[in-house]
Amino acid sequence: MRMDDPLLCVRGLKVGFPTADGVVKASNIVDLTIRAGETLALLGETGSGKTVLGMAILRLLQPNTRIEGEILYRGRDLLSLPQEEMQKVRGREIAVVLQNSGTSLNPVLRVGDQIAEAITLHRGLKGAEAEAAAVELLDQVRITDPARMAREYPHRFSGGMRERALIALALACNPSFLIADEPTRGLDAVTKREILNLFSEVNRGRSVLFITHDIEAAASLAARVAVMYAGEIIEIGPVDAVLSSPAHPYTRGLLESLPAKGMRPIPGSAPSLIAPPPGCRFFPRCSCGAGRCEIEHPGLVEVGPGHYARCMLYD
């Protein structure tokens, strides 16, 4: 597969969670392409649907979730694969670093054994061979004294070390596509920088979907960035273009609310996803909204080379 060929293609994805109060439309027509060897950052705030998109790709959503659309991985639709086939894709082809490193590792199993388990399942190595491979992975993610730490339980690991162990676990089968869900959440500045450096180093040549709410982390890792708001991708394009000249009013507001950029908050709060605004979902909070934004739902419009925004301003 050449660089630039699409590895993963998400088309018209809609995800809804039925609840007592109505269906929560967590994702609404998300279209997304990830090329081979590319890191795409998925930037958004709590509840914007970025984790849902990641979990939909892995098919790890609850069974009663309503999903429409297609997710093509190397041309195969993951949504219509039988469970057993999907099981082979997960971990081997597409791996994940889950949010919240504190609870992603089994507290009663040694860290090395948890990594060895993935190696045994997918690569067929057994016993001492699998263990040695696990130690090697821990070494690769810069855990000091990996042979000793492999025999320790997760509670002996600090937050940064646990994150490293999870990265090792995700890389156990050398997957071609990695989904990382907020791998730097809750880490202090120095540790965060170390994890980001490690991340870019171990993922050279790999396709990565980097889910984050941290704008600086996204800027340091990704070539392209997609911004999500209320279940929709509202802007997508090259990192430099999106972050230096954001087209969508929400992206602009998000950047201006950074302490370093003046800390000007966006008024109001994100809409309910049970009954989202019928037109533009950002309209109730938007400073440049016009009459038709309230009723017409905007599509993605090209505003620069490879740079799209879902806003009437450019229509």
Partner 1 sequence: MHGVCCMIDVCDLKTYYSRGFLHRTSVRAVDGVSFGIEKGETLGLVGESGCGKTTLGRSLLRLIEPTSGRVIFDGTDIMALSRRDLRRFRPRMQMIFQDAYASLNPRMRIRESIAEPLRIHGLENRAGIGRRVRDLIEMVGLNEEHLNRRPYELSGGQNQRVVLARVLAMEPEFIVADEPTAGLDVSVQAQILTLFRDLGRDYHTACLYISHDLGVVRAMSDRVAIMLKGRIVELGPTTDVLDHPCHSYTRRLVAAPGADRGFSRPAPCPAPSGSPAMVEVQSGHWVEAAAW
Q: Which is nearer to partner 1, 1 or 258 (CB)?
A: 258
d(CA 152, CA 147): 9
With beta carbons less than 8 A apart as the criterion, state whether 44 and 107 touch. Answer: no
Q: Which is nearer to partner 1, 10 or 53 (CB)?
A: 53
Total residues binding partner 1 (CB under 8 A):
25
Under rule CB under 8 A, which residues in 106-125 are in contact with partner 1?
A: none
With beta carbons less than 8 A apart as the criterion, state whether 283 and 289 touch. Answer: yes
Pick the binder of partner 1 from 3, 20, 108, 260 (CB under 8 A). Answer: 260
Say whether residue 269 binds partner 1 (CB under 8 A): yes
| Shortest Å, Cβ 212 to partner 1 | 11
Q: Which is nearer to partner 1, 46 or 64 (CB)?
A: 46
* Number of neighbours of residue 78 by Cβ within 10 angstroms: 22
Under rule CB under 8 A, which residues in 286-305 are in contact with partner 1?
A: none
Under rule CB under 8 A, which residues in 171-200 are in contact with partner 1?
A: 185-191, 193
Per-residue CA distances from 149 to 104, 143, 167, 168, 277 (Å): 17, 8, 15, 13, 51
| Shortest Å, Cβ 207 to partner 1 | 27
Tokens for 222? 């990704």
Query: CA neighbours within 13 Å on the CB side: how many for 143?
Result: 30
| Shortest Å, Cβ 263 to partner 1 | 5
Pick the binder of partner 1 from 37, 146, 183, 253 (CB under 8 A). Answer: 253
Q: Which is nearer to partner 1, 45 or 70 (CB)?
A: 45
Tokens for 175? 């997957």
Under rule CB under 8 A, which residues in 134-173 are in contact with partner 1?
A: 158-159
Q: Where are the beta strands (DSSP E) in the chain?
A: 6-19, 22-35, 39-44, 66-73, 76-77, 94-97, 177-181, 207-212, 224-229, 232-238, 301-304, 307-309
Say whether residue 45 binds partner 1 (CB under 8 A): yes
Say whether residue 259 binds partner 1 (CB under 8 A): yes
Say whether residue 265 binds partner 1 (CB under 8 A): yes
Strand-strand pairing, 177-181 and 207-212: parallel
Contacts of 49 (CB under 8 A, 6+ apart): 15, 26, 27, 28, 30, 228, 230, 231, 232, 273
| Shortest Å, Cβ 254 to partner 1 | 6
Instruction: Phi first, then psi: give them for residue 179, nearest 5 degrees.
Output: -105, 120
Q: Which of these segments, 111-119, 196-204, 234-242, 251-259, binds partner 1 (CB under 8 A)? A: 251-259
Under rule CB under 8 A, which residues in 50-89 are in contact with partner 1?
A: none
Say whether residue 37 binds partner 1 (CB under 8 A): no
Q: Which is nearer to partner 1, 3 or 263 (CB)?
A: 263
Query: 147: burial class by Cβ within 10 Å (0-12, 13-18, 19+)?
Result: middle
For 120, the 3-state DSSP assignment is helix
With beta carbons less than 8 A apart as the criterion, state whether 225 and 218 touch. Answer: yes
Q: Which is nearer to partner 1, 6 or 284 (CB)?
A: 284
Query: 44: burial class by Cβ within 10 Å (0-12, 13-18, 19+)?
Result: buried
Q: Which of these segments, 11-19, 96-104, 165-173, 263-271, binds partner 1 (CB under 8 A)? A: 263-271
| Shortest Å, Cβ 100 to partner 1 | 11
What does the binding site for partner 1 look like in residue numbers (CB under 8 A)?
45-46, 158-159, 185-191, 193, 213, 215, 253-254, 257-260, 263-266, 269
